[in-house]
Structure 1
Amino acid sequence: MGSPIPLVDTGTLGPDLERNESQQFLMNRTVQNFSWSGLTVTVKDRQSKQATDLINSITGDVKQGELVALMGPSGCGKTTLLNVLARRPAGSGAKVMGDSYVNGVRIDNGAFGRMTSYVEQEDALIGSLTVRETLKFAADLSLPSSVSKGQRIERIRTLLEAFGIQQQANTLVGTPIRKGISGGQKRRVSVVSQLITCPKILFLDEPTSGLDSRASFEVISYAKELARANNIIIIASIHQPSTTTFELFDKLLLLSAGRTCYFGPVAAVDDYFRDIGHPIPDHTNPAEFLLDIVSSDFGNAKGLGVAQDRVKKIQQSWADSAEAQAITRQVSDQVRQEGKDDGKVEVDDLARPGGARITAALLHRSFIKSYRDVVAYGIRIVMYLGLAIMMGTVWLRLHPSQDYIQPFVNAIFFGSAFMSFMAVAYVPAFLEDRANFAKERANGLYGATPFVISNFLIGLPFLFIISMLFSIVSYWLSNFRPGGDAFMTWVMWIFLDLVAAESLVVFVTAMFPNFVISLALVAFANGLWMSVGGFLVTPKILNPFWKYVFHYIDYQAYVFQGMMVNEFSQRNYSCGTGCHCMYTTDLADQCQIRGTGVLETYGYATGRTGKWVGILVGIIAVYRLFGWIALHLRKT
């Protein structure tokens, strides 16, 4: 299994821990046990409007170094109980009752979060990072500056060896496009990334989900070795383990319909169920047998009733058993012995890196992801270059004559509108970032502010590169107004257009972290902005409702205005043979059209570029602020 994983030395957490006796108790004393009493989660049934228990009066106690299996049929309340034990939301509108204790003492959520970690069922890993980089950034985001670089490297090396993934240290985790490590190795990386802070209690939600029996055995074996070597308490929800995997666990908490059917040593399961009339047959997977006898969701009407009666008897047998009474007394004795501490425990600032360090680490991680993950910006760069070539060759070598005025306008609209519309390609990349943020925020590493700041800053250079590449190809092929100042002004508008479009993606996806929903809403919003932006219907005749409700908050409208002014404010166009000018301006007697005449038909004035840029920056800021609010308020 490798060498034992050393826990963080208390000295590295800083001397300020001594300022609070309760805090010193948490950090300097080993967690001898973790217990809970009478845990109940109640929700209101949508149909009957009556209160329904998701879990009911669950009591348990786990000692240091123990590995506990939380098992039961689907819908029995495993994940709900695991979330409650980990101090996570139990569900929308759920009411939680009961207490949990560390060494017989109630502690506040902040201190509890610092001594625990939670590995979710889904591997929320960044696929474009290597295994070593994943652990490095986990350390940067969680360990204080007092832990030196050398100590971090040594801790990462030890964890890699302990979990048998040192050979994959420089292998990418893997993306849909680039193959990486296996599913079992990903589960181990997920666990290891939460062990950087050396938690005293580790929660695993379905750690063997999607793995074959061999990979499942390996993951649980490493977890067991970890628990024993470092006196860590590990509680894992698990669905249907193989016999060999099941026997690795020290204790079993068996649930059915939110109630306890058994809690105790795995070695005593056979004797207990034999005593209550349900002996485990020889040569049978005990986990499979137990799940069968506590499940009451399948069968015909008669069989369903028999199953429900059987489960109720098993639940009642446990409630009346000497084992259940002993656990209740044990928890009660621990609480009386240690005494109750209902006060808030102060969380030391040195326990986590500061906001600047976290933001810098997120920026570094995002930079690596951005240039390695072709989904983030690589595909988009190719896509925008393709759009530039298409635009430049469709509107090829337009001439400064009145026959080409409308094609110029069409090209400006196409370039601005479709550049922002194609920002929908950023949705999958941001969804991956958001999922990783949700996992790390739930484990108390950082909040929405560093994530939003780093996400915004890392996108700027890539979006500027895209704007420049697109403009170099399309601007000169289409023969827009020549001159360096005109070209750079065009680049500026394209850049602001892309930043606003990406900010819209961040806002919508932060609110609705679902690929299909986010894609549909972003596409709809961009379609709306195209409709009211001023090209399809000029602002002069646009319906007042659409004009005053949507036109003035449409970032595409300001980009279109700015690009129109950039092209037409300082350029004249010939009227062609016969001097029949389409636009009447002061140059009609010279058989020419002053470009400002075109602008007047749209109701656009010159000299307002600064104002429009300011409004665009404001729109971008509002989108990012709304995205921050959505991430801050939405906990999943």
Structure 2
Amino acid sequence: MEGPGPGAALSSSRRSMGSGRSWGSSISQSFRHQGLQPDTNDPFKRRHEDGGDDEENLRWAALEKLPTYDRMRRAIVLHEYAGDKGTGELVEIEHLASGEGGRALLEKVFQDDSERFLRSLRDRVDRVGIELPAIEVRYQDVSIEVDALVGSRALPTLWNFTTSFLQGLTGRLGSSNKKTINILRNVNGILKPSRMTLLLGPPSSGKSTLMRALTGKLDKRLKVSGNITYCGHTFSEFYPERTSAYVSQYDLHNAEMTVRETLDFSRRCLGVGARYDMLTELSRRERDAGIKPDPELDAYMKASAVQGQENNIITDLTLKVLGLDICADTMIGDEMIRGISGGQKKRVTTGEMLTGPARALFMDEISTGLDSSSTFQIVKYVKQLVHVMNETVMISLLQPPPETYNLFDDIILLSEGYIVYHGPRENILEFFESSGFRCPQRKGVADFLQEVTSKKDQKQYWYLEHEKYIFVSVREFAERFKSFHVGQLMLKELQIPFEKSKTHPAALTTKKYGLSRKESLKAVISREVLLMKRNAFIYIFKVSQLIILGIMAMTVFLRTNMPSGQISDSIKFSGALTFSLITILFNGLAELQQTIKMLPTFYKQRDFLFFPPWTFALANILLKIPISLMEAGVWVILTYYVMGFAPAAGR
């Protein structure tokens, strides 16, 4: 969803949030002044003088004496993690962040207990009084509509296409049969940090549109009204595409890349956000308070804050929590390439966004193709992430099983563009009972909520036997919710503006991309080189085909049969040139097919601000033009002189 201001105002407003000093330094300074002071009586901290191995204490003292830049790039770990890269137990983080050493370190700190692992990360941060960024998302009076063709005019026929094309040129040719369709109707709500929200609703109720609106990814052809804010800030003050992460219900990936390579690329492009600045301030506070953190946990946190690496320990963590470690080195595949299953592709789509630094997650139909057990495990991990790390999450599920439904804190029921209910999970059945509808004991609550607004299924849930049943429309439910105590409380909260001064400086992202221009270009080039290696057979086949056709052309247009004394002899040379052009043209069609195949993935990554679009174009120019010149050179070397063309360099 676009901000209300024009493009120039948008850019200047975003820049104003970081003016006067660098974004990183402002975050670091804010970390120093907010939160509690370190508690010197904390029983969990370990001081240098508290016993332990003297040699380890000496190493730690030597590490803390290093400058901040060097201290953040080194860690003390066991020899089994250091591999061949480390000297003793003091290793370079860049060498530890990827490879077998990093995976062994992750196994040690994770120990197949995600909640304990997240608690250990949070405890270390809380111990020195650092506050984690939190995002509150508000939407007030949001309505979305679109003018669309209906009936037979909406069918994809040649006549309809031609008519629409001509109408687009003239704007007056005949009736367009377009009608205004309301997708969302005056919806209101608050998504709070540390609470996980389930978005329920029948198909075509507007769930995906609501999520796209909240993440700033709406189609520009839609007509939008209302206000959407993050911590009181409008979309003109930051980049919602990077502040939040939207998990699409469509799985768009490069088929030739493995699962690990796909997640590594997304992790590299999305960057580390404010992790490095927070970790720098965390290390400074621990040093001032004499706290010695767990060496392995410290090494993990430093490894996760390394920017721009091809491989990262965060990728291994994402693979583990999503159950993708068993297929990490398997190609994703498509209709022509054998790869992972549909459910695993859905988890890869989820993992792409989990590798990034966004603290507001919007996940659209992530259970498609997954069994109930896998869905439960993923949602359970996300719940732990929300409650422990203070994140904001909305997940859309079509028919969640009861055990998955019970994991959520809040429920949004959306139907026909209206919000029927938005509030705590514990109060939703109370709301419908107040309207005369009760969920049967053996009926899943999620299934009941999907059907109670349907005209076909609503009557079976009416439980007031002494009163006659009358159909309650979705609009009536929405009006009744406003008078329900949960709805009244939410509307009162919306009337009180969010205090912008309370916004954590690391909560909202004002940088458009996670990497610099140079690093973005390097990342895209490295991916294109990888894809070219995977498609090496195509390039070898194209050159071999050129050689064979060149030999054939040499025999057909042999110079001994190519006289050049008369004007009429030019016909044979024209035929040779035409054959050469056609051969080179058709030889390049394979490249065109590959480019078209990559476009859906490119459009997704462009819209999600993975990298600037020009880096994709420049990377293909730098890598593909030399190949085209080589192919043309092979043809010229084989045929030019043999066909009898002029040997003079000037001609």
The one-letter code sitting in structure 2 at the alignment partner of 1:76 is: S
Distance 1:337 1:348 in 2: 19
Offset of residue 14 of structure 1: 2.5
Distance 2:221 2:304 in 1: 46
Structure with the higher fraction of residues in helix conformation: 1
The one-letter code sitting in structure 2 at the alignment partner of 1:86 is: T
What percent identity do the matched residue pairs reach? 23
- Matched position secondary structure for 2:515: coil
Distance 1:48 1:180 in 2: 44
Q: Trace 1:215-364 onto structure 2 (pairs within 5 A).
A: 215-295=374-454, 310-333=473-496, 335=497, 352-364=514-526
Offset of residue 380 of structure 1: 5.2
Can you give the 5+ residue segments of structure 2 that lack an aligned partner in the other structure?
1-21, 36-129, 150-175, 277-301, 307-311, 459-468, 564-568
User: 2:208 aligned with 1:43, yes or no?
Assistant: no
Offset of residue 108 of structure 1: 3.5
Report the counterpart of residue 101 of structure 1 in structure 2: 229
Of 356, 362, 385, the match for 1:203: 362
Q: Report if the CA contact (8 A) 1:73-1:294 is conserved.
A: no
**In structure 2, do the counterparts of structure 1 residues 191 and 393 end up closer, same or farther at CA, with 3 Å as the change threshold?**
same
Q: Trace 1:107-506 onto structure 2 (pairs within 5 A).
A: 108=236, 110-143=238-271, 151-152=305-306, 153-295=312-454, 310-333=473-496, 335=497, 352-372=514-534, 374=535, 378-379=537-538, 381-383=540-542, 385-386=544-545, 388-390=547-549, 392-393=551-552, 396=555, 398-402=557-561, 409-468=574-633, 475=638, 480-482=640-642
Q: Report if the CA contact (8 A) 2:140-2:226 is conserved.
A: yes
Report the counterpart of residue 14 of structure 1 in structure 2: 24
- After superposition, the C-alpha distances for 1:474-522 in whole angstroms (9 at most, x for unaligned) are x35xxx424xxxxxxxxxxxxxxxxxxxxxxxxxxxxxxxxxxxxxxxx
The one-letter code sitting in structure 1 at the alignment partner of 2:240 is: F
- After superposition, the C-alpha distances for 1:259-313 in whole angstroms (9 at most, x for unaligned) are 11121233433332222122122322333332233246999xxxxxx99853333
Q: Report if the CA contact (8 A) 1:13-1:144 is conserved.
A: no
Q: Report if the CA contact (8 A) 2:215-2:246 is conserved.
A: yes
**In structure 2, do the counterparts of structure 1 residues 298 and 400 end up closer, same or farther at CA, with 3 Å as the change threshold?**
farther
Q: Report if the CA contact (8 A) 1:20-1:346 is conserved.
A: no
Q: Report if the CA contact (8 A) 2:197-2:411 is conserved.
A: yes
Moved over 6 A (4+): 18-21, 47-50
- Matched position secondary structure for 1:108: helix
Q: Report if the CA contact (8 A) 2:184-2:418 is conserved.
A: yes
The one-letter code sitting in structure 1 at the alignment partner of 2:400 is: P
Q: Report if the CA contact (8 A) 1:295-1:307 is conserved.
A: no
Offset of residue 70 of structure 1: 1.9
User: 2:136 aligned with 1:33, yes or no?
Assistant: yes
Can you give the 5+ residue segments of structure 1 that lack an aligned partner in the other structure?
1-11, 300-305, 483-565, 572-605, 610-636
**In structure 2, do the counterparts of structure 1 residues 283 and 144 end up closer, same or farther at CA, with 3 Å as the change threshold?**
closer
Offset of residue 58 of structure 1: 1.1
Distance 1:108 1:19 in 2: 25
- After superposition, the C-alpha distances for 1:412-446 in whole angstroms (9 at most, x for unaligned) are 32232242234333344223433233222222332
The one-letter code sitting in structure 2 at the alignment partner of 1:460 is: I
- After superposition, the C-alpha distances for 1:439-464 in whole angstroms (9 at most, x for unaligned) are 22222332222121112212134334
- Matched position secondary structure for 2:184: strand
Distance 1:455 1:74 in 2: 40
When the two structures are superposed, what TM-score results if normalisation uses the length of structure 1?
0.63
User: 2:200 aligned with 1:71, yes or no?
Assistant: yes
The one-letter code sitting in structure 1 at the alignment partner of 2:396 is: S
- Matched position secondary structure for 1:252: strand
Q: Report if the CA contact (8 A) 2:245-2:353 is conserved.
A: yes
User: 2:646 aligned with 1:569, yes or no?
Assistant: yes
When the two structures are superposed, what TM-score results if normalisation uses the length of structure 2?
0.61
Offset of residue 357 of structure 1: 0.9
Residue correspondences, number:
460
Distance 1:19 1:86 in 2: 28
Offset of residue 213 of structure 1: 3.7
Distance 1:432 1:298 in 2: 43
**In structure 2, do the counterparts of structure 1 residues 248 and 144 end up closer, same or farther at CA, with 3 Å as the change threshold?**
closer
- After superposition, the C-alpha distances for 1:174-221 in whole angstroms (9 at most, x for unaligned) are 344433333333323322222333211011122223434444334433
Distance 1:292 1:361 in 2: 48
- Matched position secondary structure for 1:57: strand
**In structure 2, do the counterparts of structure 1 residues 385 and 74 end up closer, same or farther at CA, with 3 Å as the change threshold?**
same
**In structure 2, do the counterparts of structure 1 residues 292 and 360 end up closer, same or farther at CA, with 3 Å as the change threshold?**
same
- After superposition, the C-alpha distances for 1:359-413 in whole angstroms (9 at most, x for unaligned) are 01100011101111x3xx6335425533642463366264324578655543432
- Matched position secondary structure for 2:588: helix
Report the counterpart of residue 517 of structure 1 in structure 2: none
Offset of residue 17 of structure 1: 4.3
- Matched position secondary structure for 1:126: coil
Distance 1:298 1:413 in 2: 69
